[in-house]
Amino acid sequence: MNTGTVIFLNGTSSAGKTSISNELMQILNEDFIYLSVDNAIAGVNDMLMNMFGKQITRDEIRTIEHEEMIENPVISLFHHYIMAFSRIGKNVIVDHVLIDRSWLEECIKLLHNTQTFYIGVHCPLEELERRERERGDRPIGLAKAQFEMVHKHSKYDFEVNTSDNSITECANMIKDFIITNQPNALKELKVKMNL
């Protein structure tokens, strides 16, 4: 069975990952499934509500989420289904914020042998903070809190900067890259990080 192509976008909140993903799904010649870390967390919360809705309230689920009581297993499940979808031949676009070295390490271990293009989505902090204020649906300070961590250990196959280029330009550059190159970054990171 052929493995699917994974376009793995890593960047802070408000960097433009969702916007690039939507554009990519319009312009790529094959079908891609969009897998977002935000949706993964929301999906587990919905599952808990479905399973325990009579015994547990939405507010209690939010407390579990905000105090990060089950965060790492949920994120790990997300990483595993990226790998599983790829292994069964699905093309996926991943929208992720790798704020923890162990999350990156797990992605490398699971995906280094798949067709995963690891893409850095950059944006200067001042512009991230402007977008955060403008959109109003993310806590103020979220991008700043993630900023130092997200790209810390990474070496990418390709990088874009959404303050230098429009979303359409970024998506087209990513498309051009993936149809003319083979991914290598996760293999190199595996060696560099001794995994």
Contacts with ligand ATP, residue ranges (CB under 6 A): 11, 13-19, 38, 95, 97, 131, 135, 138, 162, 166-167
Least distance in Å: CB of 161 to ligand ATP?
Answer: 9
**Which residue bears the tokens 């280029």?**
165
How far apart CA 156 and CA 118 sit, in angstroms, is: 5
Q: How far is the CB of 6 from ligand ATP (least distance, A)?
A: 17
Separation CA 94–CA 118 (nearest Å):
10
CB of 104 vs ligand ATP, minimal distance in Å: 16
Comparison of 4 and 16: residue with beta carbon closer to ligand ATP: 16
Task: Tell me whether residue 18 or residue 154 sits nearer to ligand ATP (CB atom).
Answer: 18
CB nearer ligand ATP, residue 116 or residue 162: 162
Q: How far is the CB of 37 from ligand ATP (least distance, A)?
A: 8
Q: Whole-angstrom Cα distance, residue 164 to residue 180?
A: 23
Nearer to ligand ATP, 67 or 139 (CB): 139
- Nearest to ligand ATP of 16, 120 (CB atom): 16
Q: List Cβ neighbours of 11 (8 Å cut-off, separation of 6 or more).
A: 17, 97, 120, 121, 122, 123, 150, 151
Report in angstroms how near the CB of residue 97 gets to ligand ATP at its nearest: 6
Note every long-range contact of 39-44, with CB atoms under 8 Å and residues 24 or more positions apart, other chains counting: 40/74, 40/75, 40/77, 40/78, 41/65, 41/71, 41/74, 44/70, 44/74, 44/77
